[in-house]
Structure 1
Amino acid sequence: MGRWKATIAVAMSNYIEAGSIIAIATSMSLWEEAFGLDSLAVGLLSALSANAFGAAIGAAVGGPLCDRYGRKFIYTYDLILYMIGTLFAVFATNFTMLLIGFVATGIAVGAGVTAAWTYIAEEAPNERRAGHVGVAQLAWSIGPAVGFLLAIIVSPLGLLGARLVFAHLFVVAAITWWVRRGLGESQRWKDQQANPNRVGTYRGFIQLFTDRRNVVALLFLIGVYGLWNTVAGQAGIFQPRVYEAAGLDSANAQNALQVLVWTLTSLATYFGFMKYGDAVSRRLLYFIGAALGVVAWSVLIWGPPGWTSLLIFAVGWGLSAGIGAQAFYGLWAAELFATRYRASAQGVMFMLVRVMVGVLSLWFPLMLQEVGLHGVGALIVGLLVAALVIGTVWAPRTRGKSLEEIEVERYGRLLDGESSGSAASGAGSTADAAGGVEGADAAAPSRR
């Protein structure tokens, strides 16, 4: 199967992840009314779903399994669990069934997204890695655009319409699972496994937390993605409530605004990140995306109420998400860790990030209700500013380099002697031995 076809098939994990979050967001008020749910139950459903703790569990388990049994092992079986979860949501008759469905889909996407980012980066050409990783981001942004559009179309059907949105995710997952059956295993993982002196999965997992270079990279990426996603996670699941707090009450108008947000995210991902992530300064590109996010939320929170502020927010946040923290996280998380624990590192980070989202999700509806949008505004903007500073100041110098070259620069050698087609050329340069997030970016201006 060609590289682009394989990339697209694996990237669909991001479509169904984002689609799940939007399906929950657009239907929560309907479930709330149908099952008589209170704010605590709503917070629990949100926190244990694909938006937070459910995905955290999947990532924590899926990452190490991905390193132990291979990338194909995860993306072969995760969608089966996902389809079961969506069926529970489609046919839910009470809170318990709905909760089981949300948890199952969350676990599945947590494992699947981790494997997807790892596989795509490992199989991508060195000079087009951002372009390929960007496909996952593109799928992630198309999912909400389609999800909100479907919500508008089926809104006259009430709860039945919400069930149909989940049903469409089941169909997409089934088709994706069928296509993935023809995918091969990551060549880099196979080369690493073939080395007789390779380190076992358990020992490698321990090294992930005992090697200073790994710990620094983990902290950097959590600072970039964790802080940003704590905001994005609330927006993904509670944006209708945020719009209500900003004075926009119409559900269809809210969903239409979200279609605009995610359409712009898709366009920014393709024309921004995928086109220029391998060609221009990544530090500059990241800064632009992060700054747009800060401006967008500041206008929504403190700007004059009305459609002008709402449209500025939609345009700014939509463009920001396309070239911002999540796209760069998917790229840097694969680049900054050796093959032996690349998926485990992503699993750990994705788990911690979704736990952060989950903790806030338990209280966000109540906070929004009690103190209003202005009350939570300082927290939202503060998190986004922190992510902007961390990602801009410590952006790693990895553009145009093979994963093996980056590994040599960061660790001094290829840890397991991987010998894929790109390894020979990648291992030859150690001039930038500081590597990763520990050196000054100015030392390699052509490879930001």
Structure 2
Amino acid sequence: MIRFSSAPEHAEQPPIPKHLWKVAALSGMASYLDAALIVSIAVNLAIYRDHYDMGVWMAGAISAIVTGCIAVGSLVGGRLADMFGRRRVYNLDILCYAIGAVVITLAPNDIVLFVGVLIAGLAAGADLPTSLAVVSDAAPPDGRARLVSFTQVMWVAGIVVVIFLGYVLSDTGMVGARIITGHLIVAALVTFLLRARLELAEPSEAAQQEEAAALAAPRGIELKNVWNRAALLPMAATFVYYVTWGIGANTFGQFGTYLLVTVSGASQSLATGINLAFLPIALVLTFVFVRIADTPWRDRLFYVFTVVQVVAFCIASLTAGALVGMLVFFVLYQISNPFAGEASYKVWSQLTLPPDTRGTTQGLTYALSRGVFAGVAFVTPALMDYSASLLLWLITLCMAASGVAGVYVIHVLIRRSPETAVAPAPGLGVART
């Protein structure tokens, strides 16, 4: 078997054309809008609770619904993209997201808010596997990991922007909440217009056949192609990694501020400020990950930082959410997350999943994972109220399990992945603009 990262360690990486970075940025907006939607609901949750007179279980339901809708959207959207063309789904789902964001922003009551979350969540979910498949289709083999991992920069940027707006607007109540979700409308519409102008060229049949042969995967987009060893093994392994890691990441993404306020005793402004202060660390280090994503250092650093990440959660658990312990946690978590987090999942998925069903298979792993996150989100406020220490230790165990799954992916699946993959699968190549 040939290891993907078999190039000399000090060999200079070939430059990636500018038009491919444009594709990566526009596709990365799926990650930006996904993260921004989840975090905006989290930041605004206390405001929604007071404004719409919600109880603790209703607050959990709102968080569960947004995550659950992203799960369903990922499942359906990835499959539709493989069946009817990634370009078509790529453009339509971002427009549907904008419609959902409008409904959330203008919602006069909690019922309308639910409808907006439903629409935006489904659209965000549909765009995630589709956009990653588009990037992977367009990318050259020696630049695929860098381009795919750049979408994670956009994901972190979505969190940073929303947390920053939440901090600045923390004393403005529902007006600030509407401004935060209103920026999602603008971002989605601008992305829709730019994607519509993006020139994407259909790949040749010969190129598709060459890539399918190189990956020893069946050609075509029949659903049966998902249920074979070539697809099931990497799909199961990346799912286990993502779901165990994501339980911790999603919980802190949705309830980090809530935990700091209700458990650590911080004010709303201080809690939002703590999140904002440490996020730039993650943003800068995610750029570092992009630089090394096509080198052996990508997976070597995973070993180091998955340990750091588990230590971070151990500290949070041992201190039972005390403010000092949480400050140490946030520093270590933001340092480790870029190298042992969702970026690794995205890259590993594109390197190990068969190209002809990338949208479907990654849509499945996204959907199943987000479904689990939705269930966890629903019970988190109640569990946090019962025992914050128990909640934190359960998350720590999940993080340790994700490290084990990641080691398996690196040692088994990445070693089996081919060194080169040639052309895009049934969606699209990219024409130079």
TM-score normalised by the shorter chain: which range applies?
Answer: 0.7 to 0.9
Distance 2:295 2:76 in 1: 35
2:357 corresponds to: 341
CA deviations over 1:310-363 (Å, ceiling 9, x no partner): 332112111222122310111111121222211100111100000110111111
CA drift at 1:213: 2.9
2:87 corresponds to: 72
Distance 1:301 1:189 in 2: 54
Q: Any conservation in 2 of the 1:86–1:167 contact (CA below 8 Å)?
A: yes
CA deviations over 1:364-405 (Å, ceiling 9, x no partner): 11111112x211122100000000011023311378932359
1:409 corresponds to: none
1:127 match: secondary structure: coil
Aligned counterpart in structure 2 of residue 401 of structure 1, from 409, 419, 423:
419
Q: Any conservation in 1 of the 2:210–2:422 contact (CA below 8 Å)?
A: no
CA deviations over 1:230-253 (Å, ceiling 9, x no partner): 221111111122223541421111
The ranges of structure 1 where at least 4 consecutive aligned residues each deviate by more than 6 angstroms after the TM superposition are: 416-421
CA deviations over 1:157-185 (Å, ceiling 9, x no partner): 11110010000111111111111112233
Q: Does 1:39 pair with 2:56? A: yes
Q: Does 1:14 pair with 2:36? A: no
1:212 corresponds to: 229
Q: Any conservation in 2 of the 1:278–1:400 contact (CA below 8 Å)?
A: no
1:258 corresponds to: 275
Alignment of 1:180-191 (within 5 A): 180-185=195-200, 191=207
Q: Any conservation in 2 of the 1:26–1:148 contact (CA below 8 Å)?
A: yes
Q: Does 1:315 pair with 2:331? A: yes
CA drift at 1:200: 4.8
Distance 1:225 1:386 in 2: 10
Aligned counterpart in structure 2 of residue 368 of structure 1, from 357, 363, 384:
384
Distance 1:288 1:115 in 2: 31
1:399–1:199 Cα change, 3 Å:
closer
Distance 1:312 1:189 in 2: 53
TM-score (norm 2): 0.87
2:12 corresponds to: none
Distance 1:65 1:9 in 2: 20
2:99 corresponds to: 84
Q: Which amino acid aligns with 1:402?
A: T
1:2 match: secondary structure: helix
**Structure 1 range deviating more: 391-400 or 336-345:** 391-400
CA deviations over 1:172-209 (Å, ceiling 9, x no partner): 111111111122337559754999x98553x3x22212
2:45 corresponds to: 28
Q: Any conservation in 1 of the 2:96–2:119 contact (CA below 8 Å)?
A: yes
CA drift at 1:262: 2.3
1:418–1:48 Cα change, 3 Å:
closer
TM-score (norm 1): 0.84
Q: Any conservation in 2 of the 1:121–1:331 contact (CA below 8 Å)?
A: no
1:183 match: secondary structure: coil
Unaligned runs of 5+ in 1: 406-413, 422-448
Q: Does 1:325 pair with 2:350? A: no
Distance 2:117 2:428 in 1: 41
Distance 1:139 1:300 in 2: 27
Distance 1:382 1:327 in 2: 21
CA deviations over 1:265-307 (Å, ceiling 9, x no partner): 1111101x11112123433222223222211121122138655
**Structure 1 range deviating more: 97-106 or 393-402:** 393-402
- Structure with bigger RCO (C-alpha 8 Å, 6+ apart): 2
1:137–1:206 Cα change, 3 Å:
same
1:184 match: secondary structure: coil
CA drift at 1:255: 1.1
1:417–1:47 Cα change, 3 Å:
closer
Q: Does 1:229 pair with 2:281? A: no
Q: Any conservation in 1 of the 2:244–2:398 contact (CA below 8 Å)?
A: yes
1:250–1:399 Cα change, 3 Å:
farther
1:380–1:243 Cα change, 3 Å:
same
Q: Which amino acid aligns with 1:15?
A: Y
Distance 2:332 2:418 in 1: 29
Q: Any conservation in 1 of the 2:230–2:353 contact (CA below 8 Å)?
A: no
Unaligned runs of 5+ in 2: 1-17
1:434 corresponds to: none
Q: Any conservation in 1 of the 2:351–2:417 contact (CA below 8 Å)?
A: no
Distance 2:48 2:285 in 1: 33
Q: Any conservation in 2 of the 1:142–1:266 contact (CA below 8 Å)?
A: yes
Q: For the aligned residues, what is the CA RMSD?
A: 2.7
1:314–1:189 Cα change, 3 Å:
farther
1:270 corresponds to: 287
2:170 match: secondary structure: helix
Q: Does 1:157 pair with 2:169? A: no
Q: Any conservation in 1 of the 2:26–2:191 contact (CA below 8 Å)?
A: yes
Q: Which amino acid aligns with 1:394?
A: V
1:189–1:27 Cα change, 3 Å:
farther
